[in-house]
A and B are shown apart, each in its own frame.
Chain A
Amino acid sequence: MTRSATAAAAPPEEPGAPGPGAAPGGPSRAVRILRYLGGRLLTAAVSLLAVMVTSFFLFRVLPGDPVRAMTEGREVSVEQLEELRRQFGLDKPLWQQFADYCLGILRFDFGTSYQYRVPVAELIAERIGPTVLLAGTGTLVAALLGLVLGTRAAWRRGSAGDRATTAVALTLWSVPSFWLGLLLIVVLASGAGWLPGLFPTSGMSTPGVQGGFDSAVDVAHHMVLPVATMVAVVYAQYLLIMRSSVLDEMGADYLTTARAKGLRDALVLRRHAVPNALLPTVTLIFLNLGRVMGGVILIETVFAWPGLGSLFYSGLRVPDLPLVQALFVLFASAVIIMNLLADLVYPLLDPRVRT
């Protein structure tokens, strides 16, 4: 693949007489970089636009009437229902609601939550920190674990260790995260038999714990189980990708070159195979970092973690249209932005993409 691509991209140069040397041919480098950047930015912008439109209509197609849901079990008159509809702007024609929604987004105004009666932006600002903390930590730990285990498994492919590692990872991957979370709560938090409850069952902090260091320790203590649940369920994909890309690299002739030059096996792995095998995994990490915001809904719900996931869950039940719309846009933008970042970082890592 590289060769045909090169034939087209590289200026024709004959081996005996190297042509124009280091000066790359074609349009100047800056122009090419700008063109690349522009292309990626345009794609990202189009995706964002599509997400905004989808978000508005998606939740209006869903069954459920927010006004009914919020007044359920209470005696309300038709007038009161109408009044609520008017407050929420649901009495306006759809096109006007859409126009209001679009204009609002332009000003970063996502409206007011139906159920909490506060601006959506405020709610999100309050909850975003915990989510990024939990899911970010989880993703990084999972990625690190997957990279290390995947590399070792590939290096000893076919061995008992390789098979055991892969089997355990796959088993955990197929476990539902809420089930594993509940199990961990039962065993390690509530206390089972002689086991005391080692970790808190829910929340992010213990009321009353004050002071920088103490509260940091307290939060970390609360994070152990949710992070463990998340890592257990997702690290398999990093492991599998890393394992297969290290295996791909291990067939490569340049490893033989390095070995034949006298490089020790461990260094052949560290200097040649792993850095090159990292490329696909880095992309995966970026994509998953994008999904971090919305990806831990179940775990946040199980552990009552005060993050965006549980906020989304509570919004969906109503449906609290302004809230879920905003969260949907936020989750999707995170994916788009991380994707864009991955595209921008990739050329730094792989010279072959640069030209």
Chain B
Amino acid sequence: MTAELQKSTPQDGPRGAGGGARPEGEPLLSASGLSVAFTGRGGRGTARAVDGVDLDLHAGEILALVGESGCGKTTLARTLLGLERPTAGRVLFEGRPLAYGTRALKRYRHRVQLVQQDPSGSLNPRHTVYDAVAEGLRIHEGATADEERRVADALSRAGLRPPERFYLRYPHELSGGQRQRVVIAGALVLEPEALVADEPVASLDASVRGEILRLLLDLRADLGLSALVVTHDLGMAWNIADRVAVMYLGRVVEAGPVEEVLAEPRHPYTQALMSVLPESGAGEPQVLAGEPPDPTRVPGGCRFHARCPVLASGEAERAGVDTACRTQDPGVLSGSGPARVACHYAALGRGGD
């Protein structure tokens, strides 16, 4: 795999208000102190699905957002697209805060596209492939003279060749991989700058997954397309991403270039995730004990402490950080820059963050 090392200058301090051309190194799309909370029915507690996240996606970069189900990664992706409103913090595109007015949002959605997990569900079953792909064009530009050429172009870029063969077919006549290619073509037709892909291959057969991932890499190489890929699969992150952000219970707990984070995970949570990968060779798989995370009851201190194997084994106590683990929030990691970890114990070892 290739990993261009992203700009090594950390983006600290206030971002945004960039005005015209964005300076080199400024992220294309970023979350800044982003929180999204859902109020339960009948006042049954508030679910803090996303609970303070800084995350930057740079131009031409593939960023993997990794975590187990329920950790808030899909909510984060939806919020980045403006499909959910943040309860705190901001989404910034090219350094400017995302506006939620109808028109501004529409303009934004011309430039950032969504690919969802299940292509059978994300295509309207009664629309032909052609209509599905052309929809974005029609929304933003109305009927255009070169519509067919652009649809054909997008389809062949997405690997459906020759495109004319697919025009009049319906989603149910295609295989899962072909459907996901149609979804991707529907995104490409608008020539976006970034894709947000939420588990783009999770519902596909193993044999097709590699091809769809290959396609994402090709699109980045050919078009310079940035992508935020949400996944629960560390192996996939390893294969396609430049950078990875590991999310636990609404917060990014470890982030950085993919080789650093995944080859040498420092957060006990990342370590546990890595240890259960068969090919990781990390010795004994470490199965996390304790209750599964519940975003309506985020523990105090480090949000991972109740399940943390380092704390449970007494190692944290020997290092003298156990009180901090239980009482002190390790804080929010900055959105880009070198590998960072939100862990009191890991911070000791390497002078971390």
Q: Which residues on A are within 8 Å of B, measured CB to CB? A: 2-3, 5-6, 9-10, 12-16, 18, 21-22, 24, 252-254, 256-264, 272, 275-276, 349-352, 355
Contacts and interface: CB of A to CB of B under 8 A. Distances in A.
B55 to A, nearest CB: 19
B121 A253 contact: yes
A253 B120 CA distance: 9
Which of A15, A349, A350 counts the most B-chain CB atoms under 10 A from its CB? Answer: A15
B94 to A, nearest CB: 17
Interface stretch (B4-12, B166-174, B225-233, B313-321): B166-174
B178 A275 contact: no
Which one of A12, A21, A260, A275 has the highest number of Cβ atoms from chain B below 10 Å of its Cβ?
Answer: A260
Contacts of A272: 124
Nearest to B167: A22
Contacts of A275: 126
A112 B40 CA distance: 70
B135 A260 contact: no
B109 interface: yes
B106 interface: yes
Interface of B: 81, 83, 102, 105-107, 109-110, 113-114, 116-118, 120-126, 135-136, 139-140, 159-162, 165-170, 172-178, 181, 183, 186, 190, 208, 211
Given A254-B122, A260-B114, A351-B126, A22 B168 contact: yes
B126 A253 contact: no
A257 B173 contact: no
A18 to B, nearest CB: 6
B213 to A, nearest CB: 12
B173 A10 contact: yes
B135 A2 contact: no
Contacts of B126: 275-276, 349-352
B169 A264 contact: no
26 contacts: A3-B176, A6-B172, A10-B172, A13-B175, A15-B178, A15-B211, A18-B160, A18-B161, A254-B125, A256-B122, A257-B116, A257-B122, A257-B124, A260-B81, A261-B186, A261-B190, A262-B109, A263-B139, A275-B126, A276-B125, A350-B125, A350-B126, A351-B170, A352-B172, A355-B172, A355-B173
Contacts, number: 112
Task: Select the residue from A18, A256, A258 with max chain B CB neighbours within 10 A.
Answer: A18
Contacts of B109: 260-262
B140 A6 contact: no
Contact of A262 (B121, B136, B170, B177): B136
Contacts of B186: 257, 261
Nearest to B163: A18
Given A5-B172, A10-B174, A253 B106 contact: no
Nearest to B189: A261
B184 to A, nearest CB: 11
A12 B168 CA distance: 18
Contacts of B122: 253-254, 256-257
B169 to A, nearest CB: 7
Contacts of B117: 253
A351 B168 CA distance: 11
B114 A256 contact: yes
A256 B183 CA distance: 12
A165 B12 CA distance: 54
A18 B165 contact: yes
A253 B113 CA distance: 14
Given A5-B172, A15-B181, A351-B170, A253 B165 contact: no
For the complex of A and B, list the 10 residue pairs with the smallest distance between their C-beta atoms, beginning with the closest.
Answer: A15-B177, A21-B165, A262-B109, A253-B121, A260-B114, A253-B122, A262-B106, A351-B170, A254-B124, A261-B136
